[in-house]
Structure 1
Amino acid sequence: MSSTSPSPDRLAGWDVPRSADGVRHLLRHARARGLDPAALLVGTGLHLDDLGPGGVREVTAAQELRVVRALRHRVPDDGAVVGASYDVGSFGALGFALMTSRTVLDVADVTQRFFDLSYAFVVLRVELVDDEVVAFLDGSSLPRDVRAFLVARDATAVRTVLDSLVPGGVGAHLEVGPDRAVLRFAATELDRPLAGGDARRRELAEAVCRDLAADRRSATGLPQEVRVLITQRLADGAPMPVVAAALGRTDRTLRRQLAAGGTSYRALLEEVRRSLGADLLRAGLPVAEVAARLGYAEPAALVHAHRRWTGRPPGAARRGPAPGVHPADGDASPHRRGGLPQRP
């Protein structure tokens, strides 16, 4: 028994900040089923406007799971139906890497290495067993009440996207259980070429996937959850008690836990504001609008903060970096993902 592709380092589990596009897809399915998408957001701290154009980029795993629970409660047998509604274009950089792969083997390789860039909750392992490629999709670590729904959704999505890449499909056989699923197809299919194979474009897509994956895999722990929730509530000032309540904590408990991790709520709020402010100013937004989006009561507060962060006024951000300052300064930390909406 040998792996069809290099085994990646231990990937981050499902309980990490996730692309908000996963929730958007669930809401689209709810609309298609005649359901009220706003009802699925009750208790998440999110609103439909947050998930519209220009909305949040990330959500916490707890927020997405609450949406999954609400959808499952209304349409309990729709896991596979949701999975079948995905296509390769749904997955941003990962989808582009799949489309530009040269063979099915390349598809299996890039899928295993960057599976955490999809919207899946299950854990994927791909192996070559005798004359078959076998993909194991394990959901045993997921909350029991949504486990079967998510296993069916994620496994069906994998088969749907795989078959869409090759004319006539690969003849994959899928067995779905309540805790895990197994997908099999003949190893001879690995050599089949893809019509969109392009080595140069595939290399570019993989480079993007590597950067995104490194960023996401570092996004673990309480501080990153706090950053995501601050970003979602920034226009209202992101009050600490509101964020703490969203995490099921008191503000005193949250303060103590952040201190134990070597940071503070104030420091995280500053990080998010600095990073998002840099993105918005580079995008050419007026200072007054940027100040409002960052939760400042007036533009003068942003001017003061920007001078503290960079030594320059906000207007200088549109004219490029100061001498000796790299353009990416302030953008490298994981909280940057809370910035402008952008598909993974």
Structure 2
Amino acid sequence: MPADPMPADPQRVVDPGIRDWDFPRGIASVALMTAYAGEHGVPVARMLAGTGLSEPALHDPDAQIDARIELAVIRNLVRELPGVPALGVEVGRRYRITTFGIFGFACVSSPTLGEAIAFALRYLDLSFTFCLPVAEWSDGEFVAWVHDEAVPADVRQFLVERDVTAMNQVMSDLLGAPLPLVRAEFRFPEPAYPDRIQEMTGVAPRFGRPHNLFALDPAVLDQPLPQANEHTWAMCLAQCRELVDRRRARTGIAARVRELLVPGGADGFCAPPGIDTVAGDLNLSTRTLRRHLDAAGTSYRALLDEVRRALAEEMLTATPLSVSDVAIRLGYAESSTFIYAFKRWTGNTPAAYRRDRAALR
């Protein structure tokens, strides 16, 4: 189901749908970097050293790896090719729409660049990024803030170069023309190859700045994409969501909390319990539960959102409950708060979601 348009409202900020870079990912990025290294004479075995991966795994489109395995490959690449100038930029150029599988096809078939960006942020864990972008519309500018603070320092500059170049390359592919940036800034000091970075950005980059960012005229976001197709887009979105749901399957303490959040009222629907109640059911203090969930890479709020979203979709699809009734049963004091949350989860309003699901039956 298509997401709502992303208007260039003043001061609008859109965060990515993930908290950090430590999410499971496909093998395509590792395969791409290994192939690049091979072109420079680095054997596959040296690129995969310390990862537990075998060469046949690079050709398995369904293979899924931990982010830290890709990080090990990145460290191998940087160690093996220290003399390649602008290594991150050169590798980043290799990331094309086709590298991202169904995620890429969803972007290609989006109506506009703004819609593609909205989708990409919501499903960022289908990408290979380590730097997390945050989108902002402000003062007549669209700015992508590219956060690298949590990226390991030994590969931080490489990954900023790689990820920013890959983002630029993919958006240029979507438009069918170079992305028209108006400025580009980086936190790292000016390197020995500023011309390589300027060639990538199309503008004179500034280095040693407080933040990594690139900016463009927000009018570009409304341009129709040349391969936009509403039917293909809807189909790709559904497949992406199923893939994300599988990858986000919870285990350990998170699974136990999620089970406790799933209600069991007389009609199967009632407001999920609060964190204090959940902690008590697990014989933990609230503070200890928060600490365990943080160590598992999630939070009570994130798990509550997952459960509420699943229940909301089920109630909107399988019951005649009004949107207001659904909101009440999910523990929201006001339906407007529920509508805002549902739109953040799915990119659509509850009413529009119900219509779309009814049309498919």
TM over 0.5: yes
Q: Distance in 2 between matches of 1:45 and 1:186?
A: 45
CA distance in 2, matches of 1:19, 1:60: 9
Residue 37 of structure 2: aligned partner: 30
8 Å CA contact 1:159–1:183 kept in 2: the answer is no
Q: 1:46 to 1:180 in 2, by over 3 A?
A: farther
**Matching residue of 1:174:** 184
One of 64, 70, 79 as aligned partner of 2:70:
64
2:205 is aligned with 1:205: no
Alignment CA distance shift 1:91-1:65 (3 Å): same
Aligned counterparts of 1:199 and 1:25: Cα–Cα separation in 2: 30
Aligned to 1:163: 172
Residue number in structure 2 paired with 1:264: none
Q: What is the CA deviation profile of residues 26-76 of structure 1, one whole-angstrom value per residue up to 9, with x for unaligned ones?
A: 111111222212111112122213323x48702222221111001011224
Q: Which AA in structure 2 matches 1:120? A: T
- Partner of 2:105, secondary structure, is helix
| 3-state SS of 1:128 partner | strand
Contact persistence 1:17–1:219 (CA under 8 A): no
Give runs of aligned pairs for residues 38-77 of structure 1, distance below 5 A.
38-52=45-59, 54=60, 57-76=63-82, 77=86
Structure 1 counterpart SS, 2:177: coil
Is residue 94 of structure 1 aligned with residue 100 of structure 2?
Answer: no
The equivalent of 1:141 in structure 2 is 150
Residue type of the partner of 1:189? Answer: V
Q: Which amino acid aligns with 2:221?
A: L
Q: Which runs of 5+ in 2 are unaligned?
A: 1-9, 189-209, 256-291, 294-361
Q: Structure 2 length normalisation: TM-score? A: 0.56
Counterpart secondary structure, 1:107: helix
Letter in 1 for 2:247: R
Q: Please, what is the CA RMSD of the aligned residues?
A: 2.7
Tell me, yes or no, if the aligned pair for 1:133 and 1:184 is still in contact at 8 Å: yes
1:82 aligns with 2:113: no
- Name the counterpart of 1:299: none
2:26 maps to 19
**Which residue number in structure 2 is paired with residue 216 of structure 1?**
247
What's the secondary structure of 1:168's corresponding residue?
A: coil
Give per-residue Cα distances to partners, 1:266-321, cap 9 Å, x unaligned. xxxxxxxxxxxxxxxxxxxxxxxxxxxxxxxxxxxxxxxxxxxxxxxxxxxxxxxx
State the 1:12 CA deviation.
4.7
Structure 1 residue runs of 5 or longer lacking an equivalent are 225-259, 262-344
How many positions carry a matched residue from both structures?
223
Distance 1:45 1:35 in 2: 18
**Cα distance in 1 between the residues matched to 2:233 and 2:11:** 25
Aligned-partner Cα distance in 2 for 1:131–1:209: 32
Counterpart position of 1:187: 218
- Among 154, 157, 161, the alignment partner of 1:152 is 161
| CA displacement at 1:193 relative to structure 2 | 1.0
Following TM superposition, by how much is the alpha carbon of 1:21 offset from its aligned partner in structure 2, in angstroms? 1.6
| Residue identity in the other structure for 1:26 | M
Do the aligned partners of residues 128 and 223 (structure 1) sit closer, same or farther apart at CA in structure 2, a change above 3 Å counting? closer
CA distance in 1, matches of 2:150, 2:50: 23
Which region of structure 1 is more displaced relative to structure 2, 15-24 or 200-209? 15-24
Matches of 2:173 and 2:61 in 1, distance apart? 30
